[in-house]
Structure 1
Protein backbone atom coordinates (compact mmCIF):
# COMPACT_ATOMS: atom_id res chain seq x y z
CA UNK A 1 0.00 0.00 0.00
CA UNK A 2 1.43 3.38 -1.03
CA UNK A 3 1.19 6.28 1.42
CA UNK A 4 0.81 9.47 -0.59
CA UNK A 5 0.96 11.90 2.36
CA UNK A 6 4.64 12.66 1.79
CA UNK A 7 3.96 13.47 -1.84
CA UNK A 8 1.18 15.83 -0.84
CA UNK A 9 3.51 17.63 1.54
CA UNK A 10 6.27 17.66 -1.04
CA UNK A 11 3.99 19.26 -3.62
CA UNK A 12 3.33 22.22 -1.30
CA UNK A 13 6.99 23.17 -0.84
CA UNK A 14 7.90 26.59 -2.17
CA UNK A 15 11.24 28.40 -1.99
CA UNK A 16 11.16 31.63 0.00
CA UNK A 17 11.11 34.77 -2.11
CA UNK A 18 9.92 33.10 -5.33
CA UNK A 19 8.33 35.45 -7.86
CA UNK A 20 7.15 34.14 -11.23
CA UNK A 21 7.27 36.67 -14.05
CA UNK A 22 6.88 36.44 -17.81
CA UNK A 23 10.13 35.25 -19.37
CA UNK A 24 11.92 34.58 -16.06
CA UNK A 25 11.45 34.13 -12.34
CA UNK A 26 13.13 35.58 -9.25
CA UNK A 27 14.38 33.40 -6.39
CA UNK A 28 15.61 35.46 -3.47
CA UNK A 29 17.72 38.17 -5.10
CA UNK A 30 18.63 36.15 -8.20
CA UNK A 31 17.02 36.35 -11.63
CA UNK A 32 16.62 32.97 -13.32
CA UNK A 33 15.65 32.14 -16.89
CA UNK A 34 15.26 28.63 -18.28
CA UNK A 35 15.89 27.30 -21.78
CA UNK A 36 14.29 24.04 -22.91
CA UNK A 37 16.24 21.82 -25.32
CA UNK A 38 13.99 20.76 -28.21
CA UNK A 39 16.61 19.05 -30.37
CA UNK A 40 20.08 17.59 -29.74
CA UNK A 41 23.14 17.77 -32.03
CA UNK A 42 23.13 15.15 -34.77
CA UNK A 43 26.46 13.82 -33.52
CA UNK A 44 28.21 14.28 -30.18
CA UNK A 45 30.98 12.75 -28.08
CA UNK A 46 30.87 11.49 -24.50
CA UNK A 47 30.34 14.12 -21.82
CA UNK A 48 28.44 16.53 -24.08
CA UNK A 49 27.14 18.57 -21.14
CA UNK A 50 30.39 18.61 -19.12
CA UNK A 51 31.45 22.06 -20.34
CA UNK A 52 28.23 23.58 -18.97
CA UNK A 53 27.95 22.03 -15.50
CA UNK A 54 31.21 23.67 -14.41
CA UNK A 55 29.74 27.18 -14.82
CA UNK A 56 28.22 28.33 -11.48
CA UNK A 57 25.83 30.66 -13.34
CA UNK A 58 24.31 27.81 -15.35
CA UNK A 59 22.42 24.87 -13.88
CA UNK A 60 21.78 21.90 -16.15
CA UNK A 61 18.80 19.71 -15.32
CA UNK A 62 18.10 16.43 -17.08
CA UNK A 63 15.05 14.27 -16.44
CA UNK A 64 14.79 10.76 -17.88
CA UNK A 65 11.79 8.45 -18.22
CA UNK A 66 11.48 5.09 -20.00
CA UNK A 67 9.56 5.44 -23.25
CA UNK A 68 7.56 2.71 -24.96
CA UNK A 69 8.90 3.54 -28.40
CA UNK A 70 11.03 1.79 -31.00
CA UNK A 71 13.89 4.24 -31.50
CA UNK A 72 15.59 1.97 -34.04
CA UNK A 73 12.40 1.95 -36.12
CA UNK A 74 12.29 5.76 -36.10
CA UNK A 75 15.93 5.95 -37.18
CA UNK A 76 15.33 3.41 -39.95
CA UNK A 77 12.57 5.63 -41.33
CA UNK A 78 14.97 8.58 -41.25
CA UNK A 79 17.60 6.42 -42.96
CA UNK A 80 15.16 5.52 -45.75
CA UNK A 81 14.18 9.18 -46.24
CA UNK A 82 17.82 10.23 -46.50
CA UNK A 83 18.55 7.32 -48.82
CA UNK A 84 15.83 8.50 -51.23
CA UNK A 85 17.20 12.05 -51.03
CA UNK A 86 20.69 10.69 -51.74
CA UNK A 87 19.43 8.97 -54.91
CA UNK A 88 18.04 12.30 -56.17
CA UNK A 89 21.12 14.40 -55.32
CA UNK A 90 23.25 13.47 -58.32
CA UNK A 91 23.61 17.08 -59.51
CA UNK A 92 24.83 18.37 -56.14
CA UNK A 93 28.12 16.65 -55.18
CA UNK A 94 28.46 18.60 -51.91
CA UNK A 95 25.00 17.63 -50.66
CA UNK A 96 25.58 14.07 -51.89
CA UNK A 97 28.77 13.77 -49.82
CA UNK A 98 27.03 15.10 -46.69
CA UNK A 99 24.16 12.64 -47.12
CA UNK A 100 26.58 9.76 -47.70
CA UNK A 101 28.37 10.47 -44.41
CA UNK A 102 25.04 10.79 -42.57
CA UNK A 103 23.83 7.48 -44.00
CA UNK A 104 27.00 5.69 -42.91
CA UNK A 105 26.72 7.18 -39.41
CA UNK A 106 23.01 6.34 -39.13
CA UNK A 107 23.53 2.79 -40.30
CA UNK A 108 26.26 2.22 -37.69
CA UNK A 109 24.12 3.76 -34.95
CA UNK A 110 21.05 1.68 -35.84
CA UNK A 111 23.14 -1.51 -35.86
CA UNK A 112 24.52 -0.75 -32.36
CA UNK A 113 21.02 -0.06 -31.01
CA UNK A 114 19.60 -3.28 -32.47
CA UNK A 115 22.56 -5.43 -31.38
CA UNK A 116 22.39 -4.08 -27.81
CA UNK A 117 18.57 -4.37 -27.58
CA UNK A 118 18.65 -0.74 -26.49
CA UNK A 119 15.90 0.90 -24.42
CA UNK A 120 14.36 4.21 -25.51
CA UNK A 121 14.18 7.11 -23.04
CA UNK A 122 12.30 10.39 -22.98
CA UNK A 123 14.93 13.02 -22.13
CA UNK A 124 14.03 16.50 -20.89
CA UNK A 125 16.95 18.95 -20.62
CA UNK A 126 16.58 22.41 -19.07
CA UNK A 127 19.35 25.02 -18.83
CA UNK A 128 18.65 27.51 -16.01
CA UNK A 129 20.70 30.71 -16.19
CA UNK A 130 21.30 32.81 -13.05
CA UNK A 131 22.16 36.51 -12.78
CA UNK A 132 21.79 39.51 -10.47
CA UNK A 133 19.66 41.63 -12.83
CA UNK A 134 17.04 41.02 -15.51
CA UNK A 135 19.26 42.61 -18.16
CA UNK A 136 22.18 40.40 -17.17
CA UNK A 137 20.14 37.18 -17.21
CA UNK A 138 18.78 38.00 -20.68
CA UNK A 139 22.31 38.67 -21.96
CA UNK A 140 23.65 35.41 -20.50
CA UNK A 141 20.72 33.50 -21.98
CA UNK A 142 21.38 35.02 -25.38
CA UNK A 143 25.08 34.07 -25.21
CA UNK A 144 24.26 30.52 -24.05
CA UNK A 145 21.63 30.16 -26.76
CA UNK A 146 24.12 31.14 -29.47
CA UNK A 147 26.77 28.79 -28.07
CA UNK A 148 24.39 25.83 -27.88
CA UNK A 149 22.99 26.45 -31.35
CA UNK A 150 26.52 26.55 -32.74
CA UNK A 151 26.99 23.03 -31.33
CA UNK A 152 23.78 21.80 -32.97
CA UNK A 153 21.25 22.20 -30.15
CA UNK A 154 17.82 23.70 -30.74
CA UNK A 155 16.14 25.50 -27.85
CA UNK A 156 13.15 27.56 -26.83
CA UNK A 157 13.03 30.23 -24.13
CA UNK A 158 9.34 29.39 -23.46
CA UNK A 159 8.48 32.78 -21.85
CA UNK A 160 5.05 31.62 -20.61
CA UNK A 161 6.39 28.29 -19.30
CA UNK A 162 9.12 29.45 -16.91
CA UNK A 163 7.31 28.19 -13.80
CA UNK A 164 6.53 24.90 -15.55
CA UNK A 165 10.16 24.39 -16.56
CA UNK A 166 11.26 25.11 -13.00
CA UNK A 167 8.83 22.44 -11.79
CA UNK A 168 9.95 19.99 -14.46
CA UNK A 169 13.63 20.48 -13.57
CA UNK A 170 13.38 20.56 -9.78
CA UNK A 171 13.01 17.31 -7.78
CA UNK A 172 11.01 19.27 -5.16
CA UNK A 173 7.87 19.32 -7.31
CA UNK A 174 5.68 16.37 -8.26
CA UNK A 175 3.50 18.31 -10.71
CA UNK A 176 4.71 20.54 -13.54
CA UNK A 177 1.19 22.04 -14.00
CA UNK A 178 1.53 21.25 -17.71
CA UNK A 179 -1.17 19.29 -19.56
CA UNK A 180 -0.15 15.61 -19.69
CA UNK A 181 0.18 15.57 -23.48
CA UNK A 182 2.33 18.72 -23.48
CA UNK A 183 4.62 17.40 -20.74
CA UNK A 184 5.03 14.13 -22.62
CA UNK A 185 6.08 15.94 -25.78
CA UNK A 186 8.62 18.38 -24.34
CA UNK A 187 11.13 15.54 -24.09
CA UNK A 188 13.39 14.04 -26.76
CA UNK A 189 13.30 10.28 -27.52
CA UNK A 190 16.80 8.86 -27.22
CA UNK A 191 18.26 5.35 -26.88
CA UNK A 192 20.38 4.46 -23.84
CA UNK A 193 23.51 4.71 -25.97
CA UNK A 194 22.79 8.37 -26.72
CA UNK A 195 21.65 9.08 -23.17
CA UNK A 196 24.99 7.87 -21.81
CA UNK A 197 26.80 10.36 -24.03
CA UNK A 198 24.93 13.28 -22.47
CA UNK A 199 26.10 12.66 -18.91
CA UNK A 200 28.88 15.03 -17.82
CA UNK A 201 30.53 12.30 -15.75
CA UNK A 202 32.16 9.24 -17.29
CA UNK A 203 34.09 6.33 -15.78
CA UNK A 204 37.84 6.67 -16.27
CA UNK A 205 39.31 3.83 -14.21
CA UNK A 206 38.44 0.41 -12.83
CA UNK A 207 40.11 1.12 -9.47
CA UNK A 208 36.79 2.19 -8.00
CA UNK A 209 34.27 0.04 -9.85
CA UNK A 210 31.20 1.43 -8.12
CA UNK A 211 32.28 5.06 -8.01
CA UNK A 212 31.67 7.89 -10.43
CA UNK A 213 33.82 10.73 -11.65
CA UNK A 214 33.28 13.57 -9.19
CA UNK A 215 35.75 16.01 -10.68
CA UNK A 216 39.42 16.69 -11.44
CA UNK A 217 42.27 18.05 -9.34
CA UNK A 218 42.83 21.73 -9.97
CA UNK A 219 46.60 21.50 -10.49
CA UNK A 220 47.39 18.01 -11.79
CA UNK A 221 44.00 17.28 -13.41
CA UNK A 222 43.89 13.86 -11.76
CA UNK A 223 40.51 12.12 -11.66
CA UNK A 224 38.63 12.24 -8.36
CA UNK A 225 36.37 9.20 -8.00
CA UNK A 226 33.81 8.82 -5.26
CA UNK A 227 31.62 5.97 -4.03
CA UNK A 228 29.26 7.03 -1.24
CA UNK A 229 28.27 3.39 -0.71
CA UNK A 230 31.82 2.09 -0.30
CA UNK A 231 31.10 0.02 2.81
CA UNK A 232 28.04 -1.58 1.22
CA UNK A 233 29.82 -2.29 -2.06
CA UNK A 234 32.91 -3.72 -0.33
CA UNK A 235 31.70 -5.64 2.77
CA UNK A 236 35.10 -7.33 3.28
CA UNK A 237 36.84 -3.96 3.74
CA UNK A 238 33.98 -2.77 5.93
CA UNK A 239 34.41 -5.76 8.27
CA UNK A 240 38.19 -5.41 8.31
CA UNK A 241 37.91 -1.73 9.29
CA UNK A 242 34.87 -2.28 11.51
CA UNK A 243 32.79 0.19 9.50
CA UNK A 244 29.02 -0.12 9.31
CA UNK A 245 28.38 3.19 7.59
CA UNK A 246 30.24 6.04 5.99
CA UNK A 247 30.27 9.76 6.76
CA UNK A 248 30.79 12.65 4.39
CA UNK A 249 31.78 16.19 5.34
CA UNK A 250 31.81 18.88 2.65
CA UNK A 251 33.75 22.02 3.50
CA UNK A 252 34.18 25.09 1.32
CA UNK A 253 33.68 28.82 1.05
CA UNK A 254 30.78 30.62 -0.61
CA UNK A 255 30.47 29.67 -4.26
CA UNK A 256 32.81 26.66 -4.00
CA UNK A 257 30.05 24.30 -5.13
CA UNK A 258 28.95 22.59 -1.89
CA UNK A 259 25.24 22.70 -2.78
CA UNK A 260 25.91 21.60 -6.35
CA UNK A 261 27.94 18.65 -5.08
CA UNK A 262 25.18 17.59 -2.68
CA UNK A 263 22.62 17.71 -5.49
CA UNK A 264 24.86 15.55 -7.64
CA UNK A 265 25.28 13.01 -4.85
CA UNK A 266 21.54 12.90 -4.13
CA UNK A 267 20.67 12.47 -7.81
CA UNK A 268 23.36 9.86 -8.34
Structure 2
Protein backbone atom coordinates (compact mmCIF):
# COMPACT_ATOMS: atom_id res chain seq x y z
CA UNK A 1 0.00 0.00 0.00
CA UNK A 2 1.40 3.45 -0.84
CA UNK A 3 2.37 5.51 2.18
CA UNK A 4 -0.55 7.45 3.62
CA UNK A 5 -0.35 8.58 7.23
CA UNK A 6 -3.57 7.09 8.58
CA UNK A 7 -3.80 5.45 11.98
CA UNK A 8 -7.22 4.07 10.99
CA UNK A 9 -5.72 2.03 8.16
CA UNK A 10 -2.56 1.02 9.99
CA UNK A 11 -4.33 0.11 13.22
CA UNK A 12 -6.85 -2.07 11.38
CA UNK A 13 -4.05 -3.94 9.60
CA UNK A 14 -2.09 -4.34 12.84
CA UNK A 15 -5.18 -5.68 14.61
CA UNK A 16 -5.51 -8.44 12.01
CA UNK A 17 -1.80 -9.23 12.33
CA UNK A 18 -2.10 -9.39 16.12
CA UNK A 19 -5.02 -11.82 15.94
CA UNK A 20 -3.08 -14.13 13.66
CA UNK A 21 -0.06 -13.98 15.96
CA UNK A 22 -2.25 -14.84 18.97
CA UNK A 23 -3.68 -17.80 17.06
CA UNK A 24 -0.16 -19.08 16.38
CA UNK A 25 0.90 -18.61 20.01
CA UNK A 26 -2.24 -20.34 21.29
CA UNK A 27 -1.33 -23.29 19.09
CA UNK A 28 2.15 -23.39 20.61
CA UNK A 29 3.85 -22.94 17.25
CA UNK A 30 6.95 -20.98 16.39
CA UNK A 31 6.99 -18.91 13.24
CA UNK A 32 9.14 -21.30 11.24
CA UNK A 33 6.97 -24.24 12.33
CA UNK A 34 3.82 -22.53 11.09
CA UNK A 35 5.54 -21.66 7.82
CA UNK A 36 6.55 -25.28 7.35
CA UNK A 37 2.99 -26.50 7.93
CA UNK A 38 1.69 -24.02 5.34
CA UNK A 39 4.48 -24.67 2.87
CA UNK A 40 5.64 -21.03 3.01
CA UNK A 41 9.01 -19.36 3.26
CA UNK A 42 9.62 -18.70 6.95
CA UNK A 43 9.84 -14.94 6.38
CA UNK A 44 6.20 -14.81 5.27
CA UNK A 45 4.94 -15.43 8.79
CA UNK A 46 7.07 -12.58 10.11
CA UNK A 47 5.92 -10.21 7.37
CA UNK A 48 2.25 -10.97 8.08
CA UNK A 49 2.61 -10.70 11.86
CA UNK A 50 4.38 -7.36 11.54
CA UNK A 51 1.66 -6.05 9.19
CA UNK A 52 4.16 -5.55 6.39
CA UNK A 53 2.31 -7.96 4.09
CA UNK A 54 -1.50 -8.09 4.24
CA UNK A 55 -2.73 -11.71 4.23
CA UNK A 56 -5.07 -12.99 1.57
CA UNK A 57 -8.24 -14.89 2.50
CA UNK A 58 -6.43 -18.11 1.51
CA UNK A 59 -3.46 -17.22 3.74
CA UNK A 60 -5.77 -16.77 6.72
CA UNK A 61 -7.55 -20.06 6.10
CA UNK A 62 -4.23 -21.94 5.82
CA UNK A 63 -2.92 -20.19 8.92
CA UNK A 64 -5.96 -21.12 11.00
CA UNK A 65 -5.97 -24.70 9.71
CA UNK A 66 -2.29 -25.08 10.63
CA UNK A 67 -3.10 -23.75 14.11
CA UNK A 68 -6.17 -26.01 14.43
CA UNK A 69 -8.32 -22.88 14.73
CA UNK A 70 -10.56 -23.17 11.68
CA UNK A 71 -13.45 -21.69 13.67
CA UNK A 72 -11.61 -18.36 13.83
CA UNK A 73 -10.91 -18.02 10.10
CA UNK A 74 -14.21 -16.38 9.13
CA UNK A 75 -13.93 -13.63 11.75
CA UNK A 76 -10.31 -12.85 10.90
CA UNK A 77 -11.08 -12.78 7.17
CA UNK A 78 -13.91 -10.33 7.83
CA UNK A 79 -11.56 -8.09 9.85
CA UNK A 80 -8.93 -8.32 7.12
CA UNK A 81 -11.42 -7.29 4.45
CA UNK A 82 -12.50 -4.33 6.58
CA UNK A 83 -8.88 -3.23 6.89
CA UNK A 84 -8.37 -3.61 3.15
CA UNK A 85 -11.48 -1.54 2.39
CA UNK A 86 -10.04 1.43 4.27
CA UNK A 87 -7.57 2.00 1.46
CA UNK A 88 -9.17 1.12 -1.84
CA UNK A 89 -7.31 1.82 -5.07
CA UNK A 90 -9.50 3.29 -7.78
CA UNK A 91 -8.30 0.66 -10.25
CA UNK A 92 -9.78 -1.98 -7.96
CA UNK A 93 -13.00 -0.05 -7.29
CA UNK A 94 -13.47 0.72 -10.98
CA UNK A 95 -12.44 -2.58 -12.53
CA UNK A 96 -16.06 -3.39 -13.46
CA UNK A 97 -16.94 0.19 -14.41
CA UNK A 98 -18.11 3.29 -12.57
CA UNK A 99 -21.80 2.43 -12.15
CA UNK A 100 -21.34 -0.10 -9.37
CA UNK A 101 -19.08 2.27 -7.48
CA UNK A 102 -21.75 4.98 -7.58
CA UNK A 103 -24.47 2.54 -6.52
CA UNK A 104 -22.39 1.10 -3.69
CA UNK A 105 -22.33 4.47 -1.93
CA UNK A 106 -26.09 5.05 -1.90
CA UNK A 107 -26.76 3.20 1.42
CA UNK A 108 -24.10 5.26 3.22
CA UNK A 109 -25.63 8.51 1.98
CA UNK A 110 -29.13 7.34 2.91
CA UNK A 111 -28.24 6.51 6.51
CA UNK A 112 -26.13 9.63 7.12
CA UNK A 113 -27.98 12.33 9.03
CA UNK A 114 -25.33 15.08 8.84
CA UNK A 115 -23.16 15.15 5.73
CA UNK A 116 -20.31 17.64 5.70
CA UNK A 117 -18.09 17.97 2.66
CA UNK A 118 -15.28 20.09 1.28
CA UNK A 119 -14.49 20.30 -2.43
CA UNK A 120 -11.31 21.92 -3.70
CA UNK A 121 -11.29 20.73 -7.32
CA UNK A 122 -14.73 19.77 -8.64
CA UNK A 123 -18.38 20.33 -7.75
CA UNK A 124 -19.53 17.86 -5.05
CA UNK A 125 -21.13 14.77 -6.56
CA UNK A 126 -24.48 15.39 -4.84
CA UNK A 127 -24.76 18.75 -6.61
CA UNK A 128 -23.67 17.70 -10.10
CA UNK A 129 -25.86 17.89 -13.19
CA UNK A 130 -25.97 14.96 -15.61
CA UNK A 131 -23.92 16.87 -18.23
CA UNK A 132 -21.23 17.90 -15.72
CA UNK A 133 -21.10 14.41 -14.20
CA UNK A 134 -20.82 12.80 -17.65
CA UNK A 135 -17.90 15.05 -18.60
CA UNK A 136 -16.11 14.46 -15.29
CA UNK A 137 -16.69 10.70 -15.14
CA UNK A 138 -15.59 10.34 -18.77
CA UNK A 139 -12.26 11.93 -17.88
CA UNK A 140 -11.90 9.71 -14.82
CA UNK A 141 -12.75 6.60 -16.85
CA UNK A 142 -10.17 7.50 -19.49
CA UNK A 143 -7.43 8.25 -16.96
CA UNK A 144 -7.97 5.06 -14.95
CA UNK A 145 -8.68 2.88 -18.02
CA UNK A 146 -12.01 1.74 -16.55
CA UNK A 147 -14.77 0.06 -18.59
CA UNK A 148 -17.07 2.47 -20.40
CA UNK A 149 -20.42 2.59 -18.59
CA UNK A 150 -20.68 6.36 -18.27
CA UNK A 151 -24.41 6.59 -19.01
CA UNK A 152 -25.24 4.08 -16.28
CA UNK A 153 -22.76 5.69 -13.87
CA UNK A 154 -24.32 9.12 -14.36
CA UNK A 155 -27.80 7.66 -13.75
CA UNK A 156 -26.53 6.09 -10.52
CA UNK A 157 -24.97 9.38 -9.40
CA UNK A 158 -28.24 11.21 -10.04
CA UNK A 159 -30.10 8.51 -8.07
CA UNK A 160 -27.77 9.10 -5.13
CA UNK A 161 -28.59 12.83 -5.22
CA UNK A 162 -32.24 12.11 -4.45
CA UNK A 163 -31.26 12.05 -0.78
CA UNK A 164 -31.13 15.86 -0.95
CA UNK A 165 -34.92 15.87 -1.09
CA UNK A 166 -35.54 13.25 1.61
CA UNK A 167 -36.38 14.19 5.19
CA UNK A 168 -34.02 13.51 8.07
CA UNK A 169 -30.84 14.67 6.36
CA UNK A 170 -28.74 17.82 6.52
CA UNK A 171 -26.00 18.79 4.07
CA UNK A 172 -23.30 21.33 4.88
CA UNK A 173 -20.88 21.63 1.99
CA UNK A 174 -18.03 23.98 1.15
CA UNK A 175 -16.42 24.65 -2.21
CA UNK A 176 -13.39 26.72 -3.10
CA UNK A 177 -14.23 29.53 -5.52
CA UNK A 178 -11.81 27.90 -7.96
CA UNK A 179 -14.28 25.00 -8.26
CA UNK A 180 -16.72 27.44 -9.84
CA UNK A 181 -14.10 28.53 -12.35
CA UNK A 182 -12.62 25.20 -13.44
CA UNK A 183 -14.55 24.34 -16.59
CA UNK A 184 -15.59 20.69 -16.74
CA UNK A 185 -17.18 19.81 -20.07
CA UNK A 186 -18.13 22.48 -22.57
CA UNK A 187 -19.36 25.97 -21.71
CA UNK A 188 -23.00 24.89 -21.93
CA UNK A 189 -22.47 22.04 -19.46
CA UNK A 190 -20.62 24.34 -17.07
CA UNK A 191 -23.27 27.04 -17.32
CA UNK A 192 -25.94 24.46 -16.54
CA UNK A 193 -23.93 23.27 -13.56
CA UNK A 194 -23.53 26.74 -12.11
CA UNK A 195 -27.23 27.44 -12.61
CA UNK A 196 -28.03 24.20 -10.81
CA UNK A 197 -25.87 25.26 -7.86
CA UNK A 198 -27.98 28.40 -7.51
CA UNK A 199 -31.06 26.16 -7.31
CA UNK A 200 -29.51 23.70 -4.86
CA UNK A 201 -28.60 26.53 -2.49
CA UNK A 202 -32.31 27.20 -1.95
CA UNK A 203 -33.05 23.68 -0.66
CA UNK A 204 -33.99 23.76 3.05
CA UNK A 205 -31.66 20.91 3.99
CA UNK A 206 -28.63 22.39 2.20
CA UNK A 207 -26.04 24.89 3.37
CA UNK A 208 -23.51 25.68 0.63
CA UNK A 209 -20.59 27.94 1.43
CA UNK A 210 -18.07 29.32 -1.03
CA UNK A 211 -14.51 30.09 0.07
CA UNK A 212 -13.66 33.11 -2.07
CA UNK A 213 -10.29 33.91 -3.59
CA UNK A 214 -10.35 37.05 -1.46
CA UNK A 215 -10.80 35.23 1.87
CA UNK A 216 -8.87 37.28 4.40
CA UNK A 217 -6.41 35.75 6.83
CA UNK A 218 -6.93 32.30 5.39
CA UNK A 219 -6.85 30.04 8.39
CA UNK A 220 -6.48 26.78 6.44
CA UNK A 221 -4.55 25.93 3.33
CA UNK A 222 -6.32 24.25 0.43
CA UNK A 223 -6.86 20.61 1.34
CA UNK A 224 -7.71 17.47 -0.57
CA UNK A 225 -11.44 16.96 -1.01
CA UNK A 226 -13.14 15.05 1.81
CA UNK A 227 -16.57 14.06 3.12
CA UNK A 228 -17.58 13.55 6.75
CA UNK A 229 -20.48 11.18 7.41
CA UNK A 230 -22.01 12.11 10.76
CA UNK A 231 -19.06 11.89 13.18
CA UNK A 232 -18.30 8.28 12.30
CA UNK A 233 -16.15 8.24 9.18
CA UNK A 234 -14.32 10.39 6.65
CA UNK A 235 -13.69 9.66 2.98
CA UNK A 236 -10.60 11.29 1.50
CA UNK A 237 -10.15 11.08 -2.26
CA UNK A 238 -6.60 10.78 -3.57
CA UNK A 239 -5.52 10.43 -7.17
CA UNK A 240 -4.91 6.71 -6.75
CA UNK A 241 -7.33 5.68 -4.01
CA UNK A 242 -10.13 6.42 -1.61
CA UNK A 243 -9.08 6.39 2.03
CA UNK A 244 -11.67 5.72 4.74
CA UNK A 245 -10.85 7.06 8.19
CA UNK A 246 -12.72 5.84 11.26
CA UNK A 247 -10.28 6.46 14.12
CA UNK A 248 -11.96 9.04 16.42
CA UNK A 249 -8.83 11.20 16.53
CA UNK A 250 -8.57 11.38 12.74
CA UNK A 251 -12.27 12.03 12.28
CA UNK A 252 -12.04 14.82 14.88
CA UNK A 253 -9.13 16.40 13.01
CA UNK A 254 -11.14 16.60 9.79
CA UNK A 255 -14.13 17.97 11.71
CA UNK A 256 -11.85 20.67 13.13
CA UNK A 257 -10.41 21.47 9.70
CA UNK A 258 -13.93 21.69 8.30
CA UNK A 259 -14.91 24.14 11.04
CA UNK A 260 -11.96 26.38 10.18
CA UNK A 261 -12.71 26.21 6.46
CA UNK A 262 -16.33 27.02 7.18
CA UNK A 263 -15.32 30.22 8.97
CA UNK A 264 -13.64 31.41 5.75
CA UNK A 265 -16.66 30.81 3.53
CA UNK A 266 -19.43 33.17 2.48
CA UNK A 267 -23.07 32.20 2.37
CA UNK A 268 -26.43 33.35 1.10
CA UNK A 269 -26.33 36.37 -1.18
CA UNK A 270 -22.52 36.54 -1.09
CA UNK A 271 -22.19 32.89 -2.11
CA UNK A 272 -24.74 33.36 -4.87
CA UNK A 273 -22.74 36.35 -6.09
CA UNK A 274 -19.64 34.15 -6.42
CA UNK A 275 -21.59 31.60 -8.46
CA UNK A 276 -23.18 34.29 -10.60
CA UNK A 277 -19.79 35.90 -11.28
CA UNK A 278 -18.42 32.56 -12.45
CA UNK A 279 -21.49 32.14 -14.66
CA UNK A 280 -20.99 35.61 -16.17
CA UNK A 281 -17.33 34.83 -16.83
CA UNK A 282 -18.40 32.02 -19.16
CA UNK A 283 -19.77 34.66 -21.47
When normalised by structure 1's length, the TM-score is 0.22
When normalised by structure 2's length, the TM-score is 0.21
* Higher relative helix content: 2
* Higher relative strand content: 1
